[in-house]
Amino acid sequence: MLPSSLRVELNGNVAVLRLCRSAKRNALDDDTVLGIEEFFSAPPEQARAVVLDSEGDHFSAGLDLSELTERDVFAGLEHSMMWHRAFDRIESGRLPVIAVLRGAVVGGGLELACAAHIRVAEDTTFYALPEGQHGLFVGGGGSVRVPRLIGAHRMADMMLTGRVLDAREGHQAGLSHYLTGPGEGSAKAMGLAVRAAANSPVTNFAVLQALPRIAQANPAEGYLLESLMAAVAGGSSEAKERMRAFLEGRAGKVQRQESHP
């Protein structure tokens, strides 16, 4: 059972998980974060990809400040680790996740977005990490995930000065993969999710589970893991059938596509 702040829709083999707190700019309370963990721990059986979307004009304005109750140090540690656990279910789960960003992608909202594998930003999107101005520090995995995308120096600028990046600045920095016009993000994300869902499950497993570990490994270990994963993927019956289809002209060839901004 998910909280009322989340809604799930199924579109074929793509599941859409939607944040539904538009009156609060989809700020994240504990029930919502725990609901995200619940969903990604046991996604719908027929789902092969997920679109993470939101109602209203904003993806998420971050932590619901009404959740900032008095906690001792250990309770604060446990609260942060709960967010880590929930967002790790997204990043380290079995399904590709495409996030649709619009309006505020702020604080914990940015931490949530960075746990997705692909991010589509509408041109209304803006990014900020205002924790420094509130006397706080990020606690939802941002200090790990955000620097991987934009570098620690850019994140430091955002936290020290309160700098806000608009959609194009964020895109150029590396926070999004695709940039669209207003209202076009959901359709773009759905198209990407349908394509990802059509991949072999073994290939998607390799991309989601092996690739991040290879990227962090030393070269010798990375090459070995790559060889092992390539052998597992190439040895699957589905891979053999797909290659036969390609060689026999039953599968399309790579074509040039329109460039993306």
Three-state SS at 53: strand
Burial of 156 (0-12, 13-18, 19+ CB in 10 A): middle
Walk across the sheet containing 97-101 and list its strands: 6-11, 14-19, 49-54, 97-101, 118-122, 178-180
Neighbour-count burial for 26-36, b at 16+ CB within 10 Å, e otherwise: bbbbbebbbbb
- Among 131, 221, 238, 241, the active-site one is 131
Query: Which tokens go with 80?
Result: 């942060």
Three-state SS at 74: helix
Query: Which tokens go with 181?
Result: 């016009």
Torsion of CA 152, 58, 84, 66, to 10 degrees: 110
Rounded CA-CA distance 43/193 in Å is 15
111 carries an active-site annotation: yes
Rounded CA-CA distance 191/186 in Å is 9
Phi-psi region of 231 (alpha: psi -120 to 50; beta: other; left: phi over 0): alpha
55 carries an active-site annotation: no
- Among 37, 78, 111, 238, the active-site one is 111
Annotated catalytic residues are 111, 131
